[in-house]
Structure 1
Amino acid sequence: MIETDPSRPLYHAMLRADPTLSRYDPLPRIITHDRFASGHCGWSQLVGNYEDDLDTMLPGYAQHGSAMLSTLPHWDAGSHGGMDSSYALKIATKPRAGARNVAIKRHTFRKRGPIRLEAYLCFKPEANELKLSETDVRSVGFLFDLQGGDSDGDVMRVMPHLRFLNALDGVHEQKWQFKRQTGALQRIGTQDKILSHDHLNPNDWQDLPGAAQKLCYNEIPTKVNWTYIRFDFDLETMQATGFQCNDRVFDVAGFDSISIPAMKNLWCMLNICFFAETDTDKRAFLYLDSLCLSGDF
């Protein structure tokens, strides 16, 4: 019988014996452990809702492209690669100030309980100038898109968002922000089946308490360093319970999520998104080396 109680030594010994898992602190049940050395692992482009015609898609989504596997190629030193393999997942924006791109992985859950998202990531602008360019990436971040089951009462669609605002209009901000409001819900098509809303529009971001943090951003535009993040959330209460980035643990008591009425075909939804935005007419890159989603159920 496999030991699953994290308070017991055998559980910890099993985690520590696997180098790809020992970098994480998962809850007892690992839902997904994505190592992009083995492929896309189910991550795809966030396509906006449409009906009959692609032009019914909201403009914010029309700019999105597919995530890709990348060796982190650099003109000056060849390929950087991931933390312990040749590949990472690359989310790249278009070269237009304010442009964004989003990758998504879609799950459902089987019980409402605590979940934990952990990942190693880094960000850089496209290295097409011989200077540091540390303010060219506007932001990188992640979100959950969640909805309870059809047997739950009082169900809402809940979307916790967190982003690292690196720069805005050329000013170095370096702080964590969350969002509790979305764009207006809009009907798509004529059959009254589909709604859409641009929840990643640039409005309504708020600073997380103690938001400021300086991340490692190396001395030339082609050097990267991997950053650890951990986000804890309770599917039962639909509340955030913790957030950590590298050595900093943040207070989430004031954190809140976007909350909108449940949608009729999204029961037990457990989706994860990562996104990047550029602050200049230069592509911004968010790289994911690997991630682990775990739960206590």
Structure 2
Amino acid sequence: MTPELSRFDPLKRILAFDDFDRGFCGWAQHQGNYEGSLDSVLPGYAQMQPPMLSTLPNWDFGSHGGVDGGYVMKIQTLPVAGARSSAVKRLTFRDACPIRLEFYFTFKPEASELTLSESDVRAFGLLFDLQSGDRTPNGERVMPHLRFLNARDGDHVQKWQFKRAVEHAATLSNKTATHDHMADSGWEDLPGGDQKLCYNEIATKVNWHYGRIDIDLATLRVTGFRINDRVHDMGAFAEMRMPAWRNLWCMLNVLFFVETDVDKRAWAAIDSVCLSSAE
């Protein structure tokens, strides 16, 4: 196994290994659905900013770089409290089997003040957007959501949450609909999900965290979730579930997102991602 892959614990088959020293690797801005006019994009998506390749430059010691290379994927919000941005990788699956997503991440607010500002980032999160195959009886669209609620109104909360509530879908035509499923509403605390993450001592330093989530595509259910040394109990976790949408068969989309709690840009950086499957 190569040194780049040795920091992961993949299943039998590697579906994607994304090291952003090689470019965007298929990740892009999460563009909201529209039809006929861009004005039909929901406000929650209209605020989204495109991800960038970054060396994580800063004003006091140059560039931070990634775990073992120069570039990472950086997702950054607008400087408006509650603003959110996300990046997506759009795939489909060929086997309804167990899959595993592993990644190294960090987050921080824009270093515009000489203070730690550890409560300026509201949340960092990830989700899958999945749909069963077209011949699956009673097909479903299933969206497992997880977010680390870092802060709320200056309170350094630090806990993981999930979302099962389905946001109202706006119908744009008989072919296209849209819903703001990452909206800051309907989130529930993951029991035992409080976790203190390493947050270095000045505004420009970061430390990388390891994340892993396991999903069984046969049942479209989450089977495991780990952040650093913590394997979280997912017994009470529930996915966002709805009847299958007409055009999304065998969909396997992965998203990361970040949200700011103050009128300052918040950003999340992903160093590398490994998506693997059991078959």
Query: If the TM-score is normalised by the length of the shorter chain, which range does it land in?
Result: over 0.9
Counterparts of 2:254 and 2:12, CA distance in 1: 19
Which of 139, 147, 156 pairs up with 2:131? 147
After TM superposition, the score normalised by the length of structure 1 is 0.93
Query: Which aligned runs of 4 or more in structure 1 are off by greater than 3 angstroms?
Result: none
Residues 139 and 164, structure 1, Cα contact 8 Å, conserved in 2 = yes
Matches of 2:169 and 2:40, distance apart in 1: 14
One-letter code aligned to 2:68: D
The 2-side partners of 1:225 and 1:115 are apart by: 27
Q: Which of 145, 156, 169 pairs up with 1:172? A: 156
Question: How many residues are aligned here?
Answer: 279
The residue number in structure 1 matching 2:231 is 249
Match of 2:111 in 1: 127
What does 1:215-234 correspond to in 2, within 5 Å?
A: 215-234=197-216
Q: Give the aligned partner of residue 236 of structure 1.
A: 218
2:99 to 95, 115, 126: 115
Q: Displacement, 1:228?
A: 0.2
Shift of 1:108: 0.2
* Residues 1:78 and 2:54 are matched in the alignment: no
1:61-99 Cα shifts (integer Å, max 9, x gaps)? 101111000000010001001111110000000000000
Q: Deviations over 1:241-267 (max 9, x none)?
A: 111000000000111110111111100
TM-fit CA distance, 1:151: 1.1
Tell me how far apart the structure 2 counterparts of residues 150 and 192 of structure 1 sit (CA, whole Å). Answer: 18
Shift in Å, 1:182: 2.5
8 Å contact kept, 1:182–1:198: no
- Alignment RMSD (CA, Å): 0.6
Q: What is the CA–CA distance in structure 2 between the aligned matches of 1:40 and 1:73, rounded to whole Å?
A: 18
Match of 1:25 in 2: 9
What secondary structure sits across from 1:167 in the alignment? coil
Local SS of the residue matching 2:255: strand
In 2: Cα distance, 1:183 partner to 1:58 partner = 12
> Residue type of the partner of 1:170?
G
Unaligned runs of 5+ in 1: 1-14
Q: TM-score, normalised by structure 2?
A: 0.99
Distance 1:148 1:218 in 2: 42
- How is 1:6-25 mapped onto 2 (pairs within 5 angstroms)? 15=1, 18-25=2-9
| Percent pairwise identity | 59
**Distance of 1:52 and 1:186 partners within structure 2:** 14
Gaps of 5+ in 2: none
Q: Which has the larger radius of gyration?
A: 1
SS of 1:61's equivalent?
helix
